[in-house]
Amino acid sequence: MRTVIVGASAAGMAAAEAIRKRDPITEIVMLSNETHPPYYRPLIPYLIYKEKTGEDILRQARLTPSNLDLRLGVRATRLDPKNHTLTLGHDEILSYDHLLIATGASPIRPDISGLDGPGVFYLRTWADAEEVARAAKDAKYAVILGAGRIGMKSAFALRHLGIEVIVVELLERIVPQQLDVASAAIFAQAVAEAGIRTILGQTLKAVNHEGKRVTSVTLDDGSNLKADLVIVGVGVRPNLELAVSGGLHVYKGLLVDEHLRTSDTHIFAAGDVVETKDVVSGGSIVSGIWTNAADMGRIAGDNLAGGNSTYEGAFSLLNAMELGGLPVVSVGDIEALPGDGIEVFTELRGQTYRKLVFDGDRLIGLILVGQIERAGIYQTLIREKANVSGLRRELLGPRFHYGHYILSKPVLTDQYVKAG
Ligand SMILES: Cc1cc2nc3c(=O)[nH]c(=O)nc-3n(C[C@H](O)[C@H](O)[C@H](O)COP(=O)(O)OP(=O)(O)OC[C@H]3O[C@@H](n4cnc5c(N)ncnc54)[C@H](O)[C@@H]3O)c2cc1C
């Protein structure tokens, strides 16, 4: 029996480990079109200013070459589900009994004049980070398009190298997917203190070159900014080409059932390529989050090895990051407005901020800035759709802990009393 996994990142590696847990014998072939060994993708910005080395960001695998046949620099170009085969880059045919598609996502490339020219970078891979690091050596001015997670991490990385950085964002606040207005304002201050300039409510009209060098960018309003390099971070889209070549059902992402099986019984999928259910809203989402990808990988891997695990869905937002030394955790629905059963509690003290969003008796969203220690408990309450009606006071208090929740559950309280 041979299981082939396409993609050697969060989802692919978690799947391989889950398969091995159940099944020590099946041959596992893992393909990656990247030439670097598996690594923690969110850490690549640190490579730009050498805060971390390649060694530091390696994903320590529990699998050795003897039980995982990892083939780097190999792209699967075509899928033939009828014959159970993949075509590899150089026309080699690889057969499989079971297949996992964990091809992830790639940066969106907006249609802006000059954006496909030299000196313009997209930060998705280890190799991309190395390219940016090389270009940064001769750069004095950088423009980043997009003030999301990747744009801001890139901005701080380049600023560490002493480069003058300007971030251009179409929306009216930074990291708009993860921060509300109040928390974005806290970070805007940290960003300004780091010497990074932001221009909000604008986008680029053109990237201007002289020969093979970027010289400037032109904004929507016609103004020009000096630039020696440009980084684009305006979101990602799932890598669906392989799935489409095999006729698998896709919509916004690769469609799967609750066991992460695609429209072909022998093919599963996991990670950023998948369209799944939002655990909070129940709507369909394509998630771009490491932990979601790893969770899906574990479930798909277990099922590929004969298990019957169910995937309950992903958080559309589940992120912890640090910008300018200030940590933030955002989970679930942080945008819901008060009314219609929605209640929003916020507390702002200097650079510490808490926002809890309730829908009736359920906690559905959360932002913690500064003090993030209890994020895991809140996340569990959101995922479990826990009834927190009896816990409001504790939840909003500064010393909330998991024990409050456990003791608030009637059945557990009974057991606790009996045991006592
Ligand atoms: C700079 C940066 C910062 C990030 N920060 C965070 C963060 O703070 N928190 C967070 O939760 N997430 C973060 N992410 C997102 C996170 O890295 C992704 O959600 C996660 O990597 C998805 O894992 P995956 O296994 O689904 O796919 P990917 O990591 O995209 O891996 C898919 C792999 O498959 C390969 N592949 C694709 N097609 C083929 C093919 N046909 N043949 C062979 N190989 C193929 C790709 O090259 C890639 O190596 C960040 C991402 C970046 C780039």
Q: What are the domain boundaries of the chain?
A: 2-106+237-304, 120-234, 325-419
Q: For residue 271, give the ligand 1 atom closest to its CA.
A: 26
Q: Confirm whether 2-106+237-304 and 120-234 share one CATH topology.
A: yes
Domain 325-419 sits in CATH 3.30.390.30: yes
**Per-residue pLDDT tens over the stretch 215-256:** 999 999 999 999 999 999 999 999 999 999 999 999 999 999
Atom 35 of ligand 1, nearest CA residue: 7
Architecture per CATH, domain 2-106+237-304, reads as 3-Layer(bba) Sandwich (3.50)
ipTM over 0.95: yes
Q: Which amino acid, one-letter code, is at 289? A: I
Q: Which residues contact 273 (CB under 8 A, 6 or more apart)?
A: 7, 11, 101, 102, 103, 104, 105, 238, 239, 240, 243, 253, 254, 286
Our answer on whether the CB atom of 246 is closer than 6 Å to any ligand 1 atom is no
CB crowding 378-390: b at 16 or more within 10 Å, else e: bbebbbeebebee
Q: For residue 296, give the ligand 1 atom closest to its CA.
A: 26
Question: Which one, of 289, 278, 286, 292, lies nearest residue 237 by Cα?
Answer: 286
Find the 331 Cα to ligand 1 centroid distance in Å. 20
Our answer on whether the CB atom of 44 is closer than 6 Å to any ligand 1 atom is yes
Q: What is the CATH number of domain 120-234?
A: 3.50.50.60
Our answer on whether the CB atom of 112 is closer than 6 Å to any ligand 1 atom is no
Our answer on whether the CB atom of 75 is closer than 6 Å to any ligand 1 atom is yes
pLDDT tens digit at each of 420 positions of the chain: 999 999 999 999 999 999 999 999 999 999 999 999 999 999 999 999 999 999 999 987 777 777 899 999 999 999 999 999 999 987 899 999 999 999 999 999 999 999 999 999 999 999 999 999 999 999 999 999 999 999 999 999 999 999 999 999 999 999 999 999 999 999 999 999 999 999 999 999 999 999 999 999 999 999 999 999 999 999 999 999 999 999 999 999 999 999 999 999 999 999 999 999 998 888 999 999 999 999 999 999 999 999 999 999 998 888 888 888 899 999 999 999 999 899 999 999 999 999 999 999 999 999 999 999 888 888 889 988 888 888 877 887 777 776 666 655 544 433 333 333
Our answer on whether the CB atom of 9 is closer than 6 Å to any ligand 1 atom is yes
Atom 18 of ligand 1, nearest CA residue: 290
Atom 2 of ligand 1, nearest CA residue: 42
